[in-house]
Structure 1
Amino acid sequence: MKAAKFYSALNIQIEEVQQSKIDDGIVKIAVEWAGICGSDMHEFLAGPFFAKSKVTLGHEFSGTVVEIGAGVTKVSVGDRVVVEPFYSCGDCDACTEGLYNLCKKVECYGFSDDGGFAEFVTVRESRIYKIPDELGFEVAALVEPTAVALHAVRKSQLKSGDSCAIYGAGPIGLLLVQVAKVIGAKEIIVVELSEERRKKALEIGATHVINPENEKPVKEINKIVRGGVHVAFDAAGAESSFIAALASLRHTGELMIVSLWEKNVSFSPNMLVIGERKINSSLGYRHNFQEVIHLLASGKIDGSKLITNKIYIDDIVKKGFEKLKNDKTQCKILVTPKESNI
């Protein structure tokens, strides 16, 4: 079967590999669609960070069960499914507290074990969720990143009637917009360089957008919300966005870091002390896939708005990773191993 193998930064290769055997408790899935994530881009541009050498990338994917191992009872052949890619040790302090995404030994399909940029993928039964017929395979591939956004908002102090600023309108930033809208945020302000992404943000629920290239975000935010926002989400992962997000906060406001970082940042702790502001962070998700499936299937969150391109697996480097690197009009690019899907 075909699979996209990661070797090192700027080195992803499409190879013919053997399909994995099915062991007890393991399920084989024929992949329909898999999304290229920002964390995949980090690996491609500057990795390895989390990805093992020669691993098949892809942790946002949907597909159909085609084979099950002994003891599998949760799913059957023919079921339409998505996969929660994290799997943890189950024994450490974080796991016993239910915080399995914080497990010190956490592993993830697409980084530590082969993922969904392939014709078939084998996963543990416990990581699989069935999807309803009204949720198409393409949008279902966005369950994983939507779970990231939902976890970040739920973990933050944002509540109905509050204001928020979102720095960065890539896939996670745009999903943050929709989740903030679902919970009833009054002002949802997006700071983004790309004109196309600013337009998309307004289309899906942002109340205001700011171009940081020719506007000063903090000044503009204070014009919209006197004193600053209740919560600022950093989905950009740059020092400039980090500093501006902190400065955008009202007293007792919260900066929620959602992005991954390639470089360190420097800031004055006085930005926190003065005003009793705080910094929080969010890693992935936990215990929310079923809720996300409902939000997407019901249309409360419109995942289709994020999909800007669909490509065949053979083109994953040039039309996928390189396109996302060079073309900032792109948002979510989906990859399929099935030529019939294109």
Structure 2
Amino acid sequence: MKETMIQQVMTAPGKITFRDVPVPKVGPDQVLVKIKKIGVCGSDIHVYHGSHPYTSYPVTQGHEVSGQIVALGEYVKDLKIGQKVIIEPQVFCGRCYPCLHGKYNLCEKLKVMGFQTTGTASEFFAVDSSKITPIPEDMTYSEGAMMEPLAVTVHAAKRFPDLKGAKAVVLGCGPIGILLIQSLKALGAKEVFATDISDGRLALAKELGADYVVNTMKDDYAKALVEAFGPDKADVIYECAGTDITMDQAIQNARKGSTIILVAVFGKKANVDLAKLNDSELDLNTSMMYRHEDFVDAIRFVNEGKIKLKPLQSAKFAFADYNKAYEYIDNNRESTMKVLIDVDPSEE
């Protein structure tokens, strides 16, 4: 085992350096993971541009991650060296009201690796065994690194409890929107209607499960929705774009008494029509990250072939080229889905 390793550090918005640090020692309840792949998330991009409201610098990033166990703490009995795993990046207190009632994703003191505490962007990472979830041996590390965003969408989909046979709308076909389309279908939704302003993203959404798509820059969303679902419209609308425009589309075109679920993170305070929300007695729900069972379902859906991840993998960059990954995303916004960092290029 090496004594030192390379670790990524974002010292300020847009500035990434690398440093040599000691390979961490595992505690008795921890495992040491050799990091294989890291996904770049929309929230990471906010950090890169200095617009993330809950992250300060310097910070080591990396919360969408896969790897292989290379060392075990003395008390760890249910995991083994060589196992393919993913890391659940939430750090929670376990003592506050949400934690004590099973909703640790809402912990009063929640920290997320790569944002409020050290992320996984290093050659090795020591972590409590409770945050480790094994993945199937035939799942690639690239797919493993996408389990975190997929768990986000599985959790969001479940926030509407009556999906069996439901008609759903997904506003916004970025990576989360397209993963959500697939999650909704995997959980029993009958039909999914998707919107975006990119024909390329809509084509991918259609390929991966959307029954109807509309480019809202070219066609009227309200008219297209009724044409697709009839006058009763949708049972549930998921907002995945995080803009006033799309939230207004959701509120103005929801069936009275139906549900809107906010999945996207708004970068600034929203200016929306709450009077219409009230007048239509709409249920405005939200979704925050995930819990362990969402990872379990995400892995199962991929393993069963219900969710496809490879079509969303846009590009890979070497660990040393972390900064180039962000430049690529900035220069290819419309066509980019998921960019991966190849910490260990020896295995896919």
Give the structure-1-normalised TM-score.
0.94
* 1:247 counterpart = 2:247: no
Q: Deviations over 1:269-315 (max 9, x none)?
A: 22212221121100001132222211112221112221111221122
Q: Please report how far the alpha carbon of residue 75 of structure 1 lies from its aligned counterpart in structure 2 after TM superposition.
A: 1.5
Distance in 2 between residues matched to 1:72 and 1:46, nearest whole Å: 39
Please tell me the root mean square deviation across aligned C-alpha atoms, in Å: 1.7
The 8 Å contact of residues 43 and 52 in structure 2, kept in 1 or not, is answered as no
Residue equivalent to 1:208: 212
The 8 Å contact of residues 55 and 110 in structure 1, kept in 2 or not, is answered as yes
Q: Please report how far the alpha carbon of residue 209 of structure 1 lies from its aligned counterpart in structure 2 after TM superposition.
A: 1.1
Distance in 2 between residues matched to 1:55 and 1:19, nearest whole Å: 18
Residues 158-307 of structure 1 aligned to structure 2 (within 5 Å) = 158-225=162-229, 226-288=231-293, 289-307=295-313
Residue equivalent to 1:325: 330
The 8 Å contact of residues 232 and 246 in structure 1, kept in 2 or not, is answered as no
Residues 1-342 of structure 1 aligned to structure 2 (within 5 Å) = 1-225=5-229, 226-288=231-293, 289-318=295-324, 320-327=325-332, 328-341=334-347
Q: Deviations over 1:17-57 (max 9, x none)?
A: 33222222121111111111111112112334333422210
The 8 Å contact of residues 248 and 273 in structure 2, kept in 1 or not, is answered as no
Partner-residue secondary structure (3-state), 2:346: helix
Distance in 1 between residues matched to 2:232 and 2:216, nearest whole Å: 19
Distance in 1 between residues matched to 2:247 and 2:298, nearest whole Å: 28
Partner-residue secondary structure (3-state), 1:55: coil
Name whichever of 205-214 and 215-224 sits farther off.
215-224
Q: Where do 4+ consecutive residues of structure 1 move more than 6 Å?
A: none
Q: Please report how far the alpha carbon of residue 339 of structure 1 lies from its aligned counterpart in structure 2 after TM superposition.
A: 4.0
Give the AA of the match of 1:109: M
Q: Deviations over 1:34-87 (max 9, x none)?
A: 111111112112334333422210111111011122322232221111111112
Give the structure-2-normalised TM-score.
0.93
Partner-residue secondary structure (3-state), 1:121: strand
Distance in 1 between residues matched to 2:179 and 2:26, nearest whole Å: 35
Q: Please report how far the alpha carbon of residue 213 of structure 1 lies from its aligned counterpart in structure 2 after TM superposition.
A: 1.3
Name whichever of 219-228 and 257-266 sits farther off.
219-228
Q: Please report how far the alpha carbon of residue 146 of structure 1 lies from its aligned counterpart in structure 2 after TM superposition.
A: 0.8
Distance in 1 between residues matched to 2:136 and 2:58, nearest whole Å: 34
Distance in 2 between residues matched to 1:158 and 1:213, nearest whole Å: 31
Over the matched positions of the two proteins, sequence identity in percent amounts to 30
Residues paired across the two proteins, number: 341
Q: 1:124 to 1:281 in 2, by over 3 A?
A: same
Distance in 1 between residues matched to 2:210 and 2:134, nearest whole Å: 31
Q: Please report how far the alpha carbon of residue 268 of structure 1 lies from its aligned counterpart in structure 2 after TM superposition.
A: 2.2
Q: Deviations over 1:194-251 (max 9, x none)?
A: 2221111000000111112112222321221224211111111111111112223111
